[in-house]
Amino acid sequence: MGPDQAFMRDWFQRYYLSQPPRPPERMDRREFGFMFFDRDYVQRHMGFETPGHMHSFLQGQVPSHSYYSSAYYQFPGAGTMEEKKWMGADLIFDLDADHVKGAEELSYRDMLARIKVELLRLIDDFLLGDLGFDASHLRIVFSGGRGYHIHVMDARLAGLRSHERREIVDYIAGTDLNLEWVFPERTTASKTFQGRVQDSRVRSMPAPGSGGWKGRMRNGIMWLVEEMRSRDLPDLRARLPALNGVSDAIVEGMLTDLYSRSGSRDGAELMLSGNALSAFSDRRHIDLFLRLLEEEVVPRFSAEIDEPVTSDIKRLIRLPLSLHGKTGLRVTPMERDELDAFDPLRDAVPDIYPDRRVEVFVRKPSVVEIKDQRFVVEGVCDVPTYAAMFMIGRRIATLEIPLDVRS
C-alpha cells in the first residue's frame, strides 16, 4: 500500500470510528460487499446480524468502497446466490455521468449539476408523477462519486422480477414508445368519387392537460417547433442529427408547412391550437416530423438511468453514509425537499477532514472546487486536508513528489 492509499485509509478509519453509518433497513437480510485500499479483490457474500458487527468491520478493515444488496435473502452470508434464497428486492435507480450525453466534457461540478437535472426529472415527472410513488418511500442518495441513487422502499414492489422492473425502465426511457398510440389517426371527412369512398385522415394530437407520455409528447412538439423556428438548414442539421440523410427539399417542405402564414397564424400554431398534426401538405413532411419526435424529442423528455441496475434483482449498491474511495466524499442520503439545495462538493465533504495543510504534487494544471473554495494547482503545492483527500482520490494529486522536482 503506497502513501496515497495509506493517507486515505487513515482518514477513512477516523471517519468510521467517529461516525459509523446507520445500518440499512432489514440489515440482517442483506448481503454486503467491500473493496479495500490494501487488497485487489472484492469481498462479498457477507452478512451482519447487528449494527455493531457492521461497525466493527468498517472500523477494523477500513474498506475503500462499501456496498449492500438491494435484495433481501434468507441466508445473505451464503457463498452462492442460489443458497442465499432470494426473498425480494428494493427498486433501485442509478443516475451516473456515464449515461448522460456530453457529461464527459464538463467539469466535475458542472457534471454533477447536469446529473441533478436528470435526477429531478426522474423523481418529479416519473416516480412521483406518472408512477405515483409516495415520497415517503423514496431514499435519495448522492453516490459519493459521479451521480445519485434512488431506492424505492415499497413492499408492493419487492416481489417484482427482472422483466417487470424492465418494463418500468422502458416506460421511463420511452423505449419503443408507440407513436400510433400517441398520435392516432382519425377520419375528418369522406367523399365518394367514381363509386369509391375516399377518407381524409389526420393524426390527432394529445389534448392539453394530457398526462404521461401523451402530455410529454405534446410539450415535446412545442419544444421542437420553437427549436426549429428561424434556423437555417446547416444549423438545424447540426442541432438535430435525425435530419441527416434527409434531402434539403423534404426538410424545407416540412419547415414551409410549419411556419408559412395562414392569416395571422403560422401552420405550427394552427396545429397546436387544433390538436391535430394538420400542418403538413405532403405525407413525407409529416413522416419526417414524426421521425424527429421519435429520435429527438423522446430522448430529451425521458430520464437518463442506468437500465441494468434497475432490472437487476440482486444488485449491490453503495452503503449510505459510507465513504467513496475515489473521492473521499460521503455517500449522502437526503429527502426530496433537501435535494434542491444540496451541493455535493460542500455537503458531502466529511466534517472530520480538517483545514490543516498537506503538501501534494499535482501532475498537470488543475482547478479544484470543493467546500466553497477554489484551488488553482500545479506542481508542488499545499492544500487543506479535505482538498487533498478529494484530489488524491481522483488522482489529480499524489503525496509522492518526484525527486527531480524536490531537487
Active site residues: 94, 96, 306
* Torsion sign over Cα 384, 388, 391, 394: negative
242, 292 contact by CB (below 8 A): yes
- Residues with Cβ within 8 Å of 385's Cβ and at least 6 positions away in sequence, in order, are 11, 353, 354, 355, 356, 357, 358
SS (H, E, C) 298-347: HHHHCCCCCHHHHHCCCCEEECCCCECCCCCCECEEECHHHHCCCCHHHH
Q: How far is CA 300 from CA 25, 223, 337, 370, in A?
A: 35, 10, 25, 30
47, 31 contact by CB (below 8 A): yes
**How far is residue 221's CA from residue 272's CA, in Å, rounded to a whole number?**
8
Q: Is 371 exposed, middle or buried (0-12, 13-18, 19+ CB in 10 A)?
A: middle
- Residue type for position 42: V
For the chain, the distance separating the N- and C-terminal CA atoms, rounded to the nearest angstrom, is 25
Q: How far is CA 138 from CA 124, 322, 335, in A?
A: 11, 19, 8
